[in-house]
Amino acid sequence: MIRVGLAGIGFMGWIHWLAYQKVASAQVTAIGSRNAQKRTGDWRDIQGNFGPPGEQVDISGLKTYATLEDLLADESIDLVDLCLPPHLHCQAAIAALQAGKHVFVEKPMGLTTDECDQMVAAAAAADRQVLVGHVLPFFPEYAHAREVIASGTYGRLLGGHFKRVISDPSWIEDFYDPARVGGPLVDLHVHDAHLIRMLFGMPQSLVSQGRMRGEVVEFCTTLFRYQDPSLVVTASSGVINQQGRPFTHALEIHLESATLHYDHGGFSDGPETMPLKVLTADDQVLRPDLGDGDPVRAFEVQIGEVVRSLETGEVSTILSGALARDAILLCHKQTESVVRGDSVTV
């Protein structure tokens, strides 16, 4: 049994809590929060853009801590799950690793590549794992795409386009502050940067065209360049200032004898989805059954992968700190390209 200390009881902490309730081999035994109300189990003020709202939680069997230092001093904890604000990820993860804990940290891993490098080095020095909550590959559409690609049924990858766009998140304090949240690329596009790195490897260079807002990219489209010139990979991500479409994401992945297509948008008058389809070379349109699409279930599968990685000692090829570090590097390289108005070497 993996004993978990959950640090940070906001929206993501709540979603992680729900996921742990479905994973038999991991148990939250302690929580950490500066908020006295949260330490009583009153999580009713938690709201998010998916999943159920927070509620009154029975935490009578849990240890509660007001500081991260106190939680890290609990020798019974195997894994610290960090659901803290992004600017605290690096310092908190290193402290947990040095305390002998494994770490599962929400994305983004860190705000800079240097922070990520420090976290990876601290994990190696402590002989512990640092795993990063990139949940996108576990959402049913993306998980099915991974399975199709891995099967080799439709030949090799030829490329793809990935989209992730939100309306201006005016409710997120410091969203455009590179030292606290990181802006649209580090907070939003990092999902697709991670997926691109995982599916296609690290590009040799990239070129981005975009708009800046202060020190961060507000919106851009990027061409990722690989040694193989026939591999065509692009992504568009960022913020628009029309609030009628709070969120959309999409993928189109090209294989030698099939194309995978999926597009989902959340609009102020309701969601619209073009479900995942596999378009085959013999003109079929295959529509795989992906279940009810409950997004919380993806977090359950993700937690299961964390547990598998810790129990086997085989670092997850999806959630590894090294992979998450590369995703952050790709985000910053895109900013560099937009600022320079030219391609940059990765």
Domain ranges of the chain: 2-133+300-315, 137-293+327-345
Helix (H/G/I), strand (E/B), else coil: 52: coil
> How far, CA to CA in Å, does 209 sit from each of 62, 178, 186, 220, 333?
50, 19, 16, 5, 12
Nearest to 329 by CA among 145, 166, 196: 196
pLDDT value for 51: 80
Do the domains spanning 2-133+300-315 and 137-293+327-345 agree at the CATH topology level? no
CA distance 301 to 35: 29
pLDDT value for 188: 97
CA distance 170 to 187: 14
On whether the pTM is more than 0.85, the answer is: yes
Domain 2-133+300-315 belongs in CATH node 3.30.43.10: no
Q: Is the peptide bond before 295 cis (omega within 30 degrees of 0)?
A: no
CA distance 300 to 100: 25
Compute how many other C-beta atoms are within 10 angstroms of the C-beta atom of residue 232: 15
CA distance 313 to 304: 14
pLDDT value for 294: 84
| Helix, strand, coil percent content, the chain, rounded in steps of 5 | 35, 30, 35
Average pLDDT per consecutive 10 residues, the chain (346 residues; last block may be shorter):
96 95 96 95 88 91 96 98 97 98 98 98 98 97 97 98 95 93 98 98 98 97 96 98 94 98 95 96 96 88 97 96 98 98 98
CATH number of 137-293+327-345: 3.30.360.10
pLDDT value for 83: 97
Q: Which residue has the tokens 């200390």?
A: 5
**Residue type at position 77:** I
